[in-house]
A and B are shown apart, each in its own frame.
Chain A
Amino acid sequence: MYKVKVYVTLKESVLDPQGSAVKGALHSLKFNEVEDVRIGKFLELTLEKGNYDLDAKIKEMCEKLLTNTVIEDYRYEVEEVVAQ
């Protein structure tokens, strides 16, 4: 099996209201070294192995449903795991 970790974040050019609020909260806690906070989503997919192009499949899932490419970017990591 594959364990696929997908990270979704708002594009750099898109203002992240949640991130801005959290940055403000961190500053008020005196964490003044914080320059920016971006909040995103983490999805963990478990895929069965098969005769398919894994990268193409993940890309298709990300662009069709998992992210909205108008405002979001994504990246992913693949880990091979042994079924238990």
Chain B
Amino acid sequence: MKFAVIVFPGSNCDIDMYHAIKDELGEEVEYVWHDETNLDRFDGILLPGGFSYGDYLRSGAIARFSNVMAEVIKAAKEGKPVLGVCNGFQILLESGLLPGAMRRNESLKFICKPVELVVENNDTMFTAGYGQGERIVIPVAHGEGNYYCDEETLERLKENNQIVFRYTNNPNGSIADIAGIVNEKGNVLGMMPHPERAVDELLGSADGLKLFQSIVRSWRENHVLSS
């Protein structure tokens, strides 16, 4: 399986993401610059964390109009797995691939620490390797991770089981303790915690690795076994 790590000016978790895929997961991966106009050669798209375009205007607001985003939207429509972490999640929200928006953390502080999450839905291509309700530890690092959506959207997220991860101890004020959501189709995941920083016990937790393994397993089931 071949992954693209999209790099914007100001991305800073791209190398961690690349390392997680190449060295820990053992799959193919390439850095892709934001002005790329074709992602057909990739099976999965990863939007890393950081401060794309300096977070000017709003987090993700400017990155959302870069050339590559039209291709990311196309890949999402084709059903390819698209994962946005932290700033990547913010870009997915700004681009409309996922509903809602981010506000400043309730405490107004930048929060950087491991947090405990509950796997709320393990019936997705990103979480099939976890148990339903499993508790995992993944680090967060953000100043604007306070997820917001209106009540109608929240009801829809709940009904469709789109809330994938919740915080057990909400660090940022997110509505309904939301840490990660998928789109209705289930192939686009946005999450504030960084699974790519939790792929080896040396890093304090290897709980994030199963997320990437789940993507690969799902892809193999659909592509390799059926061909």
Contact = CB atoms under 8 A, between A and B. Distances in A.
Chain B CB count within 10 A is highest, among A13, A65, A68, for A68
Given A17-B103, A17-B105, A21-B108, A71 B57 contact: no
Contacts of A47: none
B108 to A, nearest CB: 6
Contact of B148 (A14, A18, A65, A66): A14
Contacts of B106: 15, 17
Contacts of B173: 15, 17
B19 interface: no
Contacts, number: 37
B104 interface: yes
Nearest to B104: A17
Nearest to A10: B103
Q: How large is the interface on B (under 10, 10 to 19, 20 to 34, 35 or more residues)?
A: 20 to 34
B61 interface: yes
B103 A65 contact: no
Contacts of B105: 17
A68 B101 contact: yes
Interface of B: 57-58, 61-62, 65, 93-94, 99-101, 103-108, 146, 148-150, 173
8 contacts: A13-B150, A17-B108, A17-B173, A18-B108, A65-B57, A65-B65, A68-B94, A70-B148
